[in-house]
Each structure stands twice: as structure tokens, then as C-alpha cells.
Amino acid sequence: MRRGGPGWAAVKRIVWERAGGRCERCGRKFEPVLKAKTARDGHEYQVQVHPGFEYDHVREIADGGALLDPENVQLLCAGREGSCHWLKTRLFGAARRSAGFTSKRRGDHGFTTSPQAS
């Protein structure tokens, strides 16, 4: 799993607090939203979600970036065309294509697809 587990949750909290709830590139502010969820036993609870942004790895995991290092994670606005995450993904994809990267070469950077990264 690329993201998930208690380690990732802790990283997200650190990054969120460092960013002050704003996109770290353009400064757009995110408003937390309470979302109702229902547990398997029918019990209802609320979770705080922050729609419209992504926790983004500055240096991609595929390129040897640290998965759970808060210094390698940034908060970016996302989800719509022109957003910071959208732009980064687009630029990254273009750079990767021009560099001739393929999924086979990812293995050369130490990226493994083990189900539990933590």
C-alpha cells in the first residue's frame, strides 16, 4: 500500500499543522468538513475530512523519496484543473515521459510494491 496505516496518519497530521491548513504552494485555505459515517455495527460517528487537497510526495516514492518523512510530504490543493496537485502531476508525468521512464525502470529506484509499507 502506497499510503495508509498509522505512520501515514501521523505524517499527515504533522504536515497539516506545518501547513496551517493551507496549500503549501499557493496558500489556498482548506476548510475542514465533518462527514457522517456509519460503522459496521450501525453506530454513527463523524470524521473530519479536508476536501480539495492532496498530501503530495515532493520526491516521488518511485524516485526514492521517503514515504513517511514529513519533510518529503507537502499539502497541495487538488481535484480541479489548474490546481497545484493537478499541475504537479501533469508536469511530473510529462517529465517522466520525456525521460523515457517506464514501469520497469521504477524497480531501479528501489520502489517495491509490498502490500504493507509500514
Q: Given the rule CB under 5 A, which residues bind Zn ion? A: 23, 25-26, 28, 77, 84
Q: Name the DSSP class of 70.
A: G
The CA angle 109-69-25, to the nearest 5 degrees, is: 95
Q: Tell me the closest approach of the beta carbon of residue 83 to Zn ion, in angstroms.
A: 6
When the beta carbons of 4 and 51 are compared against Zn ion, the nearer one is 51
When the beta carbons of 19 and 23 are compared against Zn ion, the nearer one is 23
When the beta carbons of 61 and 77 are compared against Zn ion, the nearer one is 77
Q: Tell me the closest approach of the beta carbon of residue 84 to Zn ion, in angstroms.
A: 3
- Distance, CA of 30 to CA of 17 (rounded, Å): 12
Q: What Å distances lie between residue 28 and 8, 19, 34, 88, CA to CA? A: 23, 10, 19, 16
